[in-house]
Amino acid sequence: MSLPEELRNVRPVGPRTLGGAASTWIERHAQTLVGSLGRLARQPLATALTIAVIGIALALPVALYLVVANARAVTAGLGDTVQLSVYLRLPTTAEQARKVARAIKARDEVGEAVLVSPDEGLAEFRALSGIGEALKALAENPLPWVVKLRPAEGQDSAAAVEALATDLRRLPEVELVEADTAWVRRLHAILDALRQIVVLAAAVLALGVLAIVGNTIRLEINGRRAEIEVTKLVGGSNAFVRRPFLYSGFWQGLAGGLLAVSLIGMGLVILEAPVARVAAAYGASFALAGLAAQEYLAIIGGGAALGLLGAWLAAAYQLRRIEPRA
């Protein structure tokens, strides 16, 4: 009737020093960490599918963000194509027109300015409009003298162009100033809207990732119901039971983040040459902008955090409902 020392003294178990407690804590977490990895590896298909969905859900808003960022980069250089057309009042002689054109060209904000006579204008209109025959029926040329100008370098922001147009409108010989900055402004407005859409899409897809991870963990918890019951039966706390599932969610989110980063990186590599060809065709040099290293890290970290949160939500809800029966 003797028991070995290990089983004899009736006293609660557990580490007895703070240092011992810390190292035990680390050891337990390390075991759970590796254990949850092993469990994921034993279900390769399910794990791969979950990771793929997370990766795509994370990559989508990032890709959209890159499209917008690159579109902004392209249109930022569009100022030099901004052109103003200054239409002079109708009874203007060639002499007056040339004087106005010289005055306009002398301004600091103006880069180059070309005077277009009514005859030249009509010829151009005939050539481009395709209604040349009809125009022949006109008794006299209805077109005014026009000064076409481009803003000087550095004066091509929408605001500067608008200010120049306002100035020119005040000249007595000027009937109308057409500044085609409107489409640039519209484009930028569209890009701003797209940026909002990126934020919205990112939020919605983040919720999607939470739902995916949550559901995966929920299934995993159901599959290990017996184990959870027994663990609770022998004194496992909710935190102890929850831990492997949190790690599982963490790993899947992390892998999803890595996949998203790889997808983005691959997409950039694939698109680099075609984009360069398009740019070359327009005589522009434009390099596709990618992401900074910390942005890549943020995607990976974001994936891991979403995985952890999704697992936590599912576990908090599901584990409370599993109580041991005996």
Residues forming contacts to other proteins in the complex (CB under 8 A) are 1-15, 20-21, 23-25, 27-28, 31, 226-227, 229-238, 240, 323-326
CB closer to other proteins out of 201 and 228? 228
Q: How far apart are CA 294 and CA 263, in angstroms?
A: 17
Mapped onto helix, strand or coil, the DSSP state of residue 113 is strand
Residue 35: partners with Cβ closer than 8 Å, 6 or more residues away = 244, 247
d(CA 71, CA 157): 17
Residue nearer to other proteins on the CB measure, 2 or 285 = 2
Decide if 145 contacts 117 (C-beta within 8 A).
Answer: yes
Q: What's the min distance (Å) between Cβ of 228 and other proteins?
A: 10
Nearest to other proteins of 5, 153 (CB atom): 5
Chain mean position to CA 245: 31
Token output for 57: 């859900």
Name the minimum Å distance from CB 25 to other proteins: 7
Q: CB-wise, 183 or 240, nearer to other proteins?
A: 240
If the CB atoms of residues 277 and 325 are measured against other proteins, the closer one turns out to be 325
Cβ at position 36, least distance to other proteins in Å: 14
Min dist CB 314 to other proteins, Å, is: 20
Question: Which residues in 186-219 are b (16+ Cβ under 10 Å) and which e?
Answer: eebeeeeebeeebeebbeebbebbbebbbebbbe
Q: How far is the CB of 318 from other proteins (least distance, A)?
A: 16
Q: Provide the minimum distance between the beta carbon of 309 and other proteins in the complex, in angstroms, as a whole number.
A: 22
CA torsion, ordered 192, 197, 203, 208, to nearest 10 deg: -160
Asked if residue 300 lies in contact with residue 251, where contact means CB atoms within 8 angstroms, the answer is no
Cβ contact 194:68 at 8 Å: yes
Least distance in Å: CB of 15 to other proteins?
6
Residue 144 DSSP class? P
